């Protein structure tokens, strides 16, 4: 039996009974806190990274955590974004990149993608990020360029996100917040884009005020 099939059996016998009330509630509908857009990479486990339960994140995954700019024809990402933002009314959207991203390695070296034409075309949505890295760090080594590309790609996809009508409308209304993250697989570190500082900072620093409020709330409840 494949590991993933054995996992279903363990879920049914061990996990589901302990969370039966949660799943009963979820059977009535969903109200996720965030649309979480990340890479398809098998090493990215969103629930583990964010410590969330089923129902808390509306997740979209693809190679390179890419958000194509809005166009008139319908695509899977466009429809998912519209549903999450306009129907589910999520208050947050996170775009999360990660280290050792094969998609970004391909974007940096597209000549190696000749045998993967669809992947090559898809990664063209990251080309502007590649061009930015080449412009701002022409003398950087490959490791430094890749680190910059992971960050610049997240920033680019946040810009693409703003072209979607449902997102633009909610941003104008002021009830939607966008977040850009990069997750380090080896260390577990997560850095978040801080637009005010124009740089990525540690996630605990980026959300220091929110963390403090949560801690105060916990103290009051105790």
Domains and CATH numbers, the chain: 70-222 (3.40.1050.10)
- pLDDT tens string 160-177: 999 999 999 999 999 999
Report how far residue 151's alpha carbon sits from residue 128's, in angstroms, rounded to the nearest whole number.
12
Q: Is the pLDDT of residue 8 over 80?
A: yes
Report how far residue 100's alpha carbon sits from residue 184's, in angstroms, rounded to the nearest whole number.
8
Q: Is the pLDDT of residue 219 over 90?
A: no
C-alpha torsion angle, residues 75, 80, 85, 91 (rounded to 10): -130
Find all residues with CB under 8 Å of 204, minimum gap 6, and list them. Answer: 211
- pLDDT tens string 113-139: 999 999 999 999 999 999 999 999 999
Q: Tell me the whole-structure pTM to 2 decimals.
A: 0.93
Locate 164 and state its tokens: 């979607």
Locate 222 and state its tokens: 């105790």
Report how far residue 183's alpha carbon sits from residue 49's, in angstroms, rounded to the nearest whole number.
9
Of the candidates 115, 111, 109, 144, the one whose C-alpha atom is nearest the C-alpha of residue 130 is 109
């Amino acid at each position: 039996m494949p590991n993933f099939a054995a996992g279903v059996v363990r879920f049914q016998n061990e996990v589901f009974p302990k969370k039966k009330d949660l799943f009963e509630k979820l059977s009535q509908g969903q109200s996720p806190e965030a649309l979480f857009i990340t890479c398809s990479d098998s090493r990215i486990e969103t629930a583990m990274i964010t410590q969330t339960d089923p129902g808390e994140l509306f997740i979209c995954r693809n190679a390179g955590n890419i958000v194509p700019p809005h166009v008139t024809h319908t695509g899977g990402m466009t429809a998912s974004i519209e549903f999450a933002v306009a129907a589910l009314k999520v208050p947050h959207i996170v775009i999360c990149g990660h280290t050792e991203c094969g998609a970004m390695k391909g974007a940096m070296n597209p000549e190696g993608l000749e045998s993967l034409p669809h992947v090559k075309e898809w990664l063209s949505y990251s080309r502007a990020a590649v061009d930015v890295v080449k412009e701002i760090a022409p003398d950087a080594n490959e490791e430094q360029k890749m680190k910059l590309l992971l960050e610049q790609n997240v920033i680019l996809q946040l810009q693409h996100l703003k072209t979607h009508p449902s997102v633009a409308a909610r941003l104008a209304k002021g009830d939607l917040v966008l977040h850009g993250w990069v997750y380090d697989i080896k260390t577990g570190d997560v850095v978040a884009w801080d637009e005010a500082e124009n740089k990525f900072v540690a996630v605990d620093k980026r959300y220091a005020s929110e963390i403090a409020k949560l801690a105060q709330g916990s103290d009051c409840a105790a």
